[in-house]
Structure formats: C-alpha cells, structure tokens
Amino acid sequence: MPTLATTPELIDRIRKSGLVPHSDLQAFLTLEPSSNHKNPSALLDGLIAKHLLTRFQAERLVAGKYKGFMLGSYTILDRLGAGGMGQVFLAEHAAMRRFVALKVLPGNVYEDDTARERFFREARAVAALDHPNIVSVFDMNREGKLLYLVMEYVEGVSLQAVIEKDGRQSPAAAASYAQQMAFGLQHAHERGLVHRDIKPGNTLIDRAGLARLLDLGLVRSESDSDSKLTSPLGGGRSILGTVDYLAPEQALDSSTVDIRADIYSLGATLYFLLAGHPLFPEGRAGQKLMWQQSREPTPIDQLRPEVPAGLASIVHQALAKKRTERFQTPLEMAIALTPWVSGLVPPNGNLIVAPPYRPFLGRGASAVVSDRPSKRTFSAGLPRASSAPTPHPGRLVATASPASGVVRLDVPMEQDQGTPNAYDASVATTIEDRTRHPHPAPVSASRLTLILVAVITALVVGLLFATVAAILFATGTIRI
C-alpha cells in the first residue's frame, strides 16, 4: 500500500469520506496505542484490523480519493468485478445493514441512449423474474449521471473461477450445475426472455452448491421488435455475447435468436465444466466464430472416457449446429440430465471469499447474504409459492432445501381428453442428496425433562410409602 505524505492528511480524508463515524475515529485515535497511528500505513492497518475500514476503502483513500464511497443509501465496501456494462461493487445499506451487490453503469455511457436503454431493459427483465437459480434485483436507482442496479449479493464463486482454480468437474457436479442453470433459463423462457450470454463467468455457485444465473445485460425479449437494442455500441464494440459460448445463429444475427441459442451456450458451458477448457481452446476470436458454424469440438467422451455415454450424448445434442436438432426448451435438457444429478454439489469452500466483517453485524449475521427463504420452492411452469407447490399437469415442479440437502423433481403426466403428452408419468423423479446419513429425530429437551420428573416423582413416592410402612410395623399398628 503506498504511503501518504502525513498522518493528518489521511485523517482529514477519512473524516471527509464519512466512512468512519467521528466518535469511532476519535475513540480509535485516543484509545489505541500511538504506535498504531504513528504513520499513515500503521493508521490504515489499525483501522482495517478494527473493521472500521475495508482494504478496498483504504486503497482508495491512499490514492487520494475521499468521495464516491456512498451511493444513495449504500456504502461501497469492495469491488467485485467489471464487465461490458459496468462495474459491480459489494455494498451495505446504511440503515438496514444488509449486504447487496451494486451494478453501476459508467457515467460516460449515461449519455449513450442505446447503452442506457440496455441498462433499463436489464432492470425490467430481471425484475420480472423470481427464481432461486437467478440472482434477484431489488431496485434500480440513479445518482447524478450514475445508474445502478441493487442486486442480491451471493457469497459464492463463478464457475469460471472454479475451473480455473480447481480444474474440470466430476460428471455429477457438472450435471448438477447445468441442470440448475436450465431451471433458471426455463423460468426466463416462460416469460419470453432470452439471456444471450450464458457462460461459466455468468453463473455463481454458493457454499451450498446452488447455482444462480446473473448478468442479463444482453437479455432479449422475444416480443421485442426494436433491433436497435441488439446492434453494436458506439466505437465498434459489439455485444453479441461471448465467442466461446456463442450459438452459430447468434454470431450471424443476435437480434432474432430464441431460447435455443441459450441451450447451445448451456451445452458449451457443460462441455467446459467436463473438459476444463472451451469447445475450441486454440484460435483467435474470428476463427472461433467460423468454427462455431462449421467445426465439431472433440467429443467429450474422447477427452474423458469416464464421462457416461448418456451425459456425453446430452452435451452433443445441446451443441447441435442446427437449432431444430437441439433440446427445444431448457426444461427438456433439465429432465435429460436428471439421471446424473444426485443433489447439490458444494464447491471448494476455499475459493469463496467471505464479505468483510462488520462490527455492528456480528460474524454470524454477516453470513446472511440473501433475503431468500431457507427452503426454496419453485416451479419451472408456475410462479413460486411460499409452500410446496402442487404438481400441475405437464409442469416440472422442483423443491430444494439446502438444510436437508434434498431436491425433488416431479414431472406428472398431462391428460388432455385421454391423450397423454410427451412426458410419460415414469419421468417423475426424486433426487435426494445422501451425503448426510439420516438419523432418528432426537428427543426434545422438554420431553427429557418430563421423563426425568416422572422418574424422580415415582422414586420419592415409593420411598415415602416404604418409610410409612416401616413406622407402622415398628409401632405395632400393623401386624402380619
């Protein structure tokens, strides 16, 4: 960390920033040993150790910045990442003390009508979605020329980072992540939306193994006839998607693609999870675009013979060049993956960076990073309900409880004047995570107390009866 000229200069910046309440800063300067703030670096280290500043905030202060830490009602704590549509920050609501993720559109892009409309479109699109496998958006705000989305903060890791740091995944883990992504895509599809940028970097896995799709900056409504929103941005930049996961038809005209383009991207993501590299690991972007049109990737079962033939066949079908030969809906692909899914698969916990400790939250509360209920109930065909959904004809109903590690999928048969639909009743499937061995329910503390009281009472009554009888015998009142 660079060193500032003087300690008083740093203290002045901290005060101007409003990051540390005046009383807390004064108490730190008064009560802490002078060695903790004899120079700027020691002062910052001490404030970080006391959780009064985050390292990100300290680095900004060192760089001479004391503005921009507050955005509306939120305090910026850290920078989580950046993309074509802006930066994402970890923030905390000043009053509610809740962690959120803020996606901020660059100020200079605010003047670009097309880019600004894309941002509004993403906000509207995500606001219409409510699904455990899609990151929620709580609000959209503006601060001067800065537009930002207030999103659910997920304490997790992207699939891209999982592969980069842990290598290719087991067939069970890859199938689990891909199936959950398909659930989220099905929810979006039923609301007429196409994501258009499905890839490992846009999928987060939390500590329980629950996958969530994010970054709908390229989302397209199938009822949207305004092709301007899918045209290249100024300066020659194009937002077609990501080359390694781009469907062949999307490379030609991204304004007319449907959900089957997302299915291709999901197939490419599943291939990446199993192979540890994209479909075409070599070559420049232009070459890869051509190969997406004309070349087949190395079959996954040739790269990894241990991958089940059925799972390899799913990958191959999802990656068909002709969209009519792919799965036609994400739901179809999710059902096909069912035999290889055995429950949620948590990622390596060491890959997940915990949010900064905040003294007013307490460590336990800082782990609560989502407003979602602990038991997740959702349906690929129906709106979410607060209780377990009733199976509906022809709809896949899924319930997931991270606490119990159980995921249940039901695909009942639909009857239409005696004619069953394409989903046979035999497809109804239950998937249970057996990683935790079932145990009998423990006896509650209240029940143990009642049992103990009953035993003691019986002993006391018996002892009293024996004593009275002995006295009566001794006095001759009772004779045998």
Active site residue 197: yes
Residue 89: strand, helix, or coil: strand
**Which one-letter DSSP state was computed for residue 404?**
T
Helix (H) or strand (E) holding 288: helix 285-294
User: CB-side exposure of 346: number of CA atoms within 13 Å?
Assistant: 13
Distance between CA atoms of 123 and 147, rounded to whole angstroms?
Answer: 11
Write down the residue that tokens 């740091």 correspond to.
165
Given 113, 166, 197, 410, the catalytic residue: 197
Residue type, 285: A
> Which tokens belong to 306?
């241990």
Q: Which residues of 85-123 are buried (b: 16+ CB within 10 A; e: fewer)?
A: bbebbbbbeeeeebbbbbbbbeeebbebebbeebbebbb
Beta-strand relationship, 137-143 and 86-93: unpaired
Query: Of 401, 389, 272, 384, whose CA–CA distance to 344 is shortest?
Result: 401
Beta-strand relationship, 376-379 and 397-401: antiparallel
Helix (H) or strand (E) holding 137: strand 137-143
**Residues 6 or more apart in contact with residue 370 via CB below 8 angstroms:** 152, 153, 154
Name beta bridge partners: 409. Answer: 398, 429
The angle, 0 to 180 degrees and rounded to 10, between the axes of the packed helices 7-17 and 40-49 is 40
**Which one-letter DSSP state was computed for residue 201?**
G
Phi, psi torsion values for 375, nearest 5 degrees: -105, 125
> Which tokens belong to 363?
């460590």
Residues classed as catalytic: 197
